[in-house]
Amino acid sequence: MTSDAVISSENLTKKFGSFTAVDHITFEVKKGEIFGFLGANGAGKTTAMKMFCGLLRPTSGKGFVAGLDIYKESEKIKKRIGYMSQRFSLYEDLTVNENIQFYAGIYGLDRKTIRKKQHELSDKLQLTAYQNKLISSLPLGWKQKLAFSVAIVHEPDIVFLDEPTGGVDPVTRRQFWDLIYEAADAGVTVFVTTHYMDEAEYCDRISMMVDGRIEAIGSTDHLKAKYKVNSMNDVFLILARNVEI
């Protein structure tokens, strides 16, 4: 493990009965990196991510997040990470402000900081007019951006995004990635799972998971050169589907 790694694993494995969902994965993510965790549906991306977030207990292997052991120090880890699930995780029957208050509240932010964050967020996302509107009245793209901002409201070291851009149009997706870049510039490490290969191009480095194993890892340019193809889509097809290009 190198000194600037914020996520690292060594032969990390998760079995559900006889099924091995994550099979001896070993990799590192450096501080401030945008790391794309790619793979087909069911390749084990979400399971691996859940182990780092303390939502699942690994079967074997080692894993560290922010220098903390995922077996013994998951409670400490939870204070240092943010998590955004596939389903945006905002409460529809609460207003924008109440959602921010709630998530900031469960991370233990004090009232003054919460108020400051509310102003910052609504300015940044241009939601000032919607502060007291219910989430259910917002369009999907805004919900998504707000969900991301809420996931990093407590200024974590690392944010885990589990397929954050499902179901939105490319323009909104692009705007969403602007937010991710902004967070990365501020020093937050971003760990993002996706099966959109065009999104892979936005990442500093990616790993490709197939059947629970990491089949390839590196920058997109590096991978495209290695497999002698022009797009990440082709890399994916070669690795995941064994297609000859």
Partner 1 sequence: MKRFIAFVKKEVFHITRDFRTMLILFGMPVAQILLFGFAITNEIRDANIAILDHSKDHISEKLTNKFLSSGYFKLDSYLQSAEEIETEFKKGKIKLVIVFGKQFGENLNRFQSSELQIIADATDPNTANTLINYTQSIVRDFVASLNPGPPTGIMIIPEVRFRYNQNLKGVFLFVPGLITIILMLVTAMMTSISLTREKELGTMEVLLASPMKPIQIIVAKVIPYIFLAFFISIIVLLLGYFVFGVPIKGNLLLLLFELLLFVLTTLSLGILISTIAKTQLVALMISVMGLLLPTIILSGFIFPIENMPKILQWISNIIPAKWFIIIVKNIMLKGSGIDMVWKETLIILGFAMLFIMMSLKKFNIRIG
Residue with Cβ nearer partner 1 (164 or 208): 164
Of 67, 49, 81, 53, the C-alpha closest to 8 is 67
One of 7, 81, 183, 238 touching partner 1 (CB under 8 A):
81
Under 8 Å between Cβ of 7 and 158: yes
* Amino acid at site 156: P
Q: Quick one: which of 106, 171, 230, 242 contacts partner 1 (CB under 8 A)?
A: 106
Q: How many residues bind partner 1 (CB under 8 A)?
A: 34
Q: Which two tokens stand for residue 155?
A: 């200024």
The token pair that represents 138 in the structure block? 């917002």
Which region, judged by CB under 8 A, interacts with partner 1, from 64-72, 74-82, 178-186, 189-197? 74-82
Query: 148, 160, 177, 236: which one contacts partner 1 (CB under 8 A)?
Result: 160
Helices (H), 81-169: 96-106, 111-124, 140-151
HSE (CB half, 13 Å, CA atoms) of 5?
16
- Check residue 94 for interaction with partner 1 (CB under 8 A): yes
36 Cβ neighbours under 8 A, 6+ residues apart? 192, 193, 194, 199, 200, 202, 203, 205, 206, 207
Nearer to partner 1, 36 or 54 (CB): 54
Q: How far is the CB of 160 from partner 1 (least distance, A)?
A: 8
Residue 87 touches partner 1, criterion: CB under 8 A? yes
Q: Is 165 in the site for partner 1 (CB under 8 A)?
A: no
By CB under 8 A, residue 36 contacts partner 1: no
Q: Applying CB under 8 A, does 199 fall inside the site for partner 1? A: no
Specify the 3-state DSSP secondary structure of 13.
strand
Residue (83 or 177) nearer to partner 1, CB: 83
3-state secondary structure 151-219: HCCCCCCEEEEECCCCCCCHHHHHHHHHHHHHHHHCCCEEEEEECCHHHHCCCCEEEEEECCEEEEEEC
CB of 6 to partner 1, least distance (A): 16
- Contact flag: residue 133 with partner 1 (CB under 8 A): no
Q: Which residues bind partner 1 (CB under 8 A)?
A: 50, 53-57, 75, 78-79, 81, 83-94, 98, 101-108, 110, 151, 160
